[in-house]
Each structure stands twice: as structure tokens, then as C-alpha cells.
């Protein structure tokens, strides 16, 4: 497993904790607002961070660091992810996974084998049923590629029906998500422990068409949060 980025400490990736963040290469989505396109789409152009270097730092921060976050890209596309996390657990560190939810079989394996302690799952758009089938068109338009939306729904169910700490989150990109869409997403995770609405930052986006897109205002964000909060236990906003 190659590591293509390492943030020694972060106060925002794992709420309430100081965490080191490991970035794994590659992603199966092509979201035009992606703010790490080199990592997601052309990781071969990035230097590899030696695992030993990461280990030495984290072991040296025992008692100060609270955990390690595995991010990407999309970590669950790597079949060796369980073995990689086992190594990190050997450093006596709790592990949080960030994922787009497209590989529920990997998510379930990591949870069942008690390799992860928390999950943050991105919900990119509505996961809805049309005549009994999970509709994928809007999701695919949002992430820029074909998606088995049924697998997204399966990952959502794994988290909501399990005992692991989790949060769902959505980056609110006006070109893809309306107020009604946000409410529909919240309805689809009715009863969820936490749902986070993240502000879209156009200057960090990969797609040129995103650079001139105006984000929703702080006032609108607060309104979206209130409406979504009718369906989940805790709805909050980030980045405004």
C-alpha cells in the first residue's frame, strides 16, 4: 500500500480528537468539485511517503495524538486495506475511515473485524427509489461516472444498523444539490446519529466549470441545516 500524503495532526478530520491523517491514492469517482485531483486521479505523479516515516512519527506522539484517519482518494478501492489498517492498529491507535460508500463489502469487513473505530461517509446526492429500484441517474451526474447506487444505500444501512461511531456528510454544490435534494437526503437517513453539511469551496475545485460557481450563503446553509435536522439526531454545518 502506497501512502501519497500524510498530515501530522488535524483538529477537523475527527471531531473532538487530534488525529494524524493518511492519504491513500486513487478514486473511483470523478467529482468535479474534488479538491485533491492529483491524489484522486493521477497519484503516480505524487511522491510516496514511506510507511516507516509515518510509523515513527505516530509512535513518537503516543499520549498526544488521539487517532489516525484513513482518507483518500477512496481507501476502500484497495483490496489490501484491512492488512494496512492492521499495521496501524499495532501502533495502538484508533482508526477512522473516510469513504464514499461505494464498497459496502469492504466496509462491512473492516467493521466486523474491528479494524476501524469510526466512519465518515460522503453522500453525494439523493439515493432514491423509483418503482422499487434505486435510481442512479442523479448520483452519476454528480460524481461523473457510473455508480451502483444500491451499494451506496447498503453502506448507509450498514452504518445506521450497526454499533460503530459514524457520520454522514454532504458537500453542498449548488449545481447538483437543491434545497429539496438536501431534505430528501436527510429523509433517506432518517434517524441517523449525525449529518454534516459541508460548504463548497469553488477555488479548490478540480473542474473548471466549478470555479465560477457561487456557494450557498451562510444564511441558506443554516436554513438547510434546520430542515435536514428534522430527520436526523444531529445536523451541523462545516466550512461557513
pLDDT at 134: 60
CB 159 within 8 A of CB 127: no
* Residues in the chain, total: 240
In whole angstroms, give the CA distance from residue 46 to residue 3: 10
In whole angstroms, give the CA distance from residue 100 to residue 231: 21
Element (H, E) at 9: strand 5-10
pLDDT at 131: 54
pLDDT mean over 26-35: 94
Selecting from 1.10.3720.10, 3.90.1150.10, 3.20.20.70, 3.40.1350.10, what CATH number does the domain 5-169 have?
3.20.20.70
Domain ranges of the chain: 5-169
Place 224 in a pLDDT band, splitting at 50, 70 and 90.
Answer: very high
pLDDT at 135: 63
Place 156 in a pLDDT band, splitting at 50, 70 and 90.
Answer: very high
CB 193 within 8 A of CB 233: yes
Place 30 in a pLDDT band, splitting at 50, 70 and 90.
Answer: very high
- The strand ranges marked E within 81-135 are 95-99, 118-122, 128-130, 133-135
- For 84, residues 6+ apart whose C-beta sits below 8 A from its C-beta are 1, 70, 78
To the question of pTM greater than 0.85 for the whole model, the response is yes
pLDDT digits (tens, 9 = 90+) for 108-155: 999 999 999 999 999 999 986 655 566 678 899 999 999 999 999 999
Place 206 in a pLDDT band, splitting at 50, 70 and 90.
Answer: confident
pLDDT mean over 167-179: 94
Average pLDDT, the chain: 93
- Name the β-bridge partners of 130: 133
In whole angstroms, give the CA distance from residue 238 to residue 15: 11
Amino acid at each position: 500500500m502506497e501512502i501519497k500524503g500524510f498530515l501530522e495532526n488535524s483538529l477537523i478530520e475527527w471531531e473532538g480528537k487530534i488525529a494524524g491523517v493518511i492519504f491513500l491514492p486513487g478514486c473511483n469517482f470523478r467529482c468535479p468539485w474534488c479538491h485533491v485531483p492529483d491524489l484522486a486521479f493521477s497519484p503516480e505523479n505524487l511522491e510516496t511517503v514511506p510507511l516507516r516515516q509515518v510509523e515513527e512519527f505516530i509512535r513518537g506522539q503516543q499520549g498526544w495524538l488521539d487517532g489516525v484517519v484513513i482518507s483518500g482518494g477512496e481507501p476502500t478501492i484497495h483490496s489490501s486495506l484491512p492488512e494496512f489498517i492492521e499495521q496501524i492498529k499495532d501502533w495502538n491507535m484508533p482508526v477512522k475511515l473516510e469513504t464514499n460508500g461505494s464498497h459496502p463489502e469492504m466496509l462491512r469487513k473492516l467493521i466486523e473485524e474491528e479494524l476501524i473505530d469510526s466512519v465518515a461517509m460522503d453522500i453525494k446526492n439523493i439515493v432514491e427509489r423509483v418503482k422499487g429500484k434505486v435510481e442512479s441517474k442523479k448520483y452519476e451526474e454528480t460524481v461523473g461516472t457510473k455508480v451502483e447506487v444500491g451499494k451506496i444505500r447498503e453502506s448507509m444501512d450498514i452504518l445506521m444498523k450497526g454499533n460503530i461511531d459514524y457520520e454522514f456528510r454532504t458537500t453542498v454544490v449548488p449545481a447538483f444539490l437543491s434545497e429539496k435534494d438536501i431534505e430528501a437526503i436527510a429523509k433517506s437517513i432518517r434517524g441517523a446519529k449525525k449529518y454534516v453539511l459541508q460548504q463548497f469551496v469553488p477555488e479548490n475545485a478540480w473542474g473548471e466549470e466549478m470555479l465560477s460557481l457561487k456557494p450557498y450563503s451562510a444564511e441558506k446553509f443554516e436554513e438547510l441545516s434546520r430542515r435536514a435536522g428534522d430527520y436526523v439526531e444531529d445536523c451541523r454545518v462545516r466550512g461557513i
